[in-house]
Amino acid sequence: PGGAGEVRRKARGRILRFDGGTKVMPALRKGDEDRTLPAVNKGYVLHLLQLTPAQHFTKPPARFSQASRVRALEKRGM
């Protein structure tokens, strides 16, 4: 993935199965319920409308929280 000439695309959508709360409180609606995703098949040409470059850094999960670190030190008699 991500090789020369290869582009990844992501699409998200929602399907309203039951409109109980939004019938009573229309303010709860997200506002994009009328949009539908177009059918996209292999070979379909997409036109780029906007490109927002962003750099993201990941961090590994902390090995110890402050409380678990104190507990581990106390367990070892420190």
41-76 pLDDT per residue, tens: 888 887 888 888 888 899 888 788 889 989 999 999
- Helix then strand count (H, E) for the chain reads 2, 0
Residue with the bigger pLDDT between 27 and 40: it is 40
Residue with the bigger pLDDT between 27 and 56: it is 56
Contact of 29 with 22, CB cutoff 8 Å? yes
Does this model's pTM top 0.75? My answer is no
- Identify the CA nearest to 65 among candidates 53, 57, 73: 73
Two tokens, residue 29: 């609606």
pLDDT of residue 4: 56
